[in-house]
Amino acid sequence: MTMETSQGNLILNVKFMDDDHKAMLDSLNALVAVSSSGAEAVAINEAFVDLVNLTCAHFEREEMSMLENGYPEYAQHKSEHSALIEQISALAQRLNVETNSVPSDEVVALLTNWVSQHIQTADRAYARYLREVGAANR
Ligand SMILES: [Fe+2]
Ligand SMILES: [Fe+2]
C-alpha cells in the first residue's frame, strides 16, 4: 500500500506525521504479507505487536505535539486515538486467546479503514492548524 491509495491522499506535509504514517502503513503491509503467507501464528502475532507499538508511539508523538502547540481540538483528537487503542486491545486479547484463529483480515480491515479515515479527517485538520500557527516544519 502506498501513501496515495484508493483510500485517498494520505500526505499531510507535516514531516513527523507523514513519516510515522508511512511507517505504520509499511508495518500494516508487513502484517498483511505475513498473515497471507501461511506463517505461524507467532509470526503474525509479532507483526501485529510491531504495528501496535508503532501506532501507540505515533499517537503519543501527535498528542505531545498538540499539547506543545496549544491545539484546541486536543481532547477530541485524543479520544479518537483512544477508541482505536481500545479496539486494538480487544483484538490483541483475542489473538492471545485464539492463537490458531488469528483474525488478521479483521485487523487489517479495521486498521486500514480507521487509519486512512483518521488521517484524512482529524490528522489533516491538525496539520492545517500547524500551518496556521507556523509550526508545521518543526
Ligand atoms: Fe496520525
Ligand atoms: Fe491522529
Residue with cell 491522499: 9
Residue with cell 505515533: 58
Domains of the chain by start residue, with CATH: 13-132 (1.20.120.50)
pLDDT tier for residue 6 given thresholds of 50, 70 and 90: very low
Q: Separation of 118 CA from ligand 2 center, angstroms?
A: 6
**Does the pLDDT of residue 111 top 50, yes or no?**
yes
User: Mean pLDDT across the stretch 111-120?
Assistant: 87
pLDDT at site 134: 93
The chain-wide mean pLDDT, for the chain, equals 85
Q: Separation of 60 CA from ligand 2 center, angstroms?
A: 9
pLDDT digits (tens, 9 = 90+) for 18-74: 999 999 989 988 888 887 777 777 887 888 889 889 999 999 999 999 999 999 999
> Percent of the chain at pLDDT above 70?
86
pLDDT at site 116: 86
1-15 per-residue burial string, b: 16 or more CB within 10 A, e: under 16: eebeeebeebebebe
CB of 73 within 8 A of CB of 64?
no
Q: Separation of 101 CA from ligand 1 center, angstroms?
A: 29
The more confident residue out of 92 and 48 is: 48
Q: Separation of 25 CA from ligand 1 center, angstroms?
A: 11
pTM confidence score: 0.86
